[in-house]
Structure 1
């Protein structure tokens, strides 16, 4: 399902949906399947619910809400200041969400110098160049290179 240049509200159903926003501030709701949610440009809100979902916020300051399942959050150059809620960094807890920064050229060798992970109040702040990812309610001590997909 594809939106337009306006502020789109798109909702999937129980299957494996692919929702693509557009240039506006979009609200995308995946549903119960293994969904792919692409916000495009703009300050988007992407909600996955159940399933192993893929989130691609795009440019703009996005809110990414994972839900149950093993979700992947994909980032490329100029993604902005995004926030992720319900990020699961603990594989022993029955799930493992991942942050995909492979498009940024970060490797295992350059991870320590290219990615800064720090505590900011009750949240974890991940800084890559001029862009940031805030992991809402996540302790930075639980976030390691194993939580990232690298180039």
Structure 2
């Protein structure tokens, strides 16, 4: 994997990012027209960068948070744009503007901090459940995602 690898040459870092994009987006790209493939690959790079920044951050409430690490470990969530805000970890399927006309906040999210971790539907509409560990919270959140969820470019 490319995460955690340090490169001294800019060219090597770029090759690593391209390889990561390929790993994350290989399935499904072949069916897209060339222009859309480029947009999807750019979005994948932005998602990868967002995760990398989130995991490597030494400031902010999320620094070292076990929910952030557990979410990154799940392949479904790793493909979505992570967005920590107000003590919660939210996910978006559209990683770049222009944002859709409808609010992108339609996915369940996790209230971080300390156990029990609470998982809510968008907008605190309904409590989905509580979990005693970060891993259980991630599992509950993923089980609550819409069927066939895939990031959009």
The bucket for the TM-score relative to the shorter chain is under 0.3
By percentage of residues, which structure has more helix? 2
- Greater strand share, structure number: 1
User: Highest Rg: 1 or 2?
Assistant: 2
Q: With CA pairs under 8 Å and 6+ residues apart, which has the higher RCO, 1 or 2?
A: 2
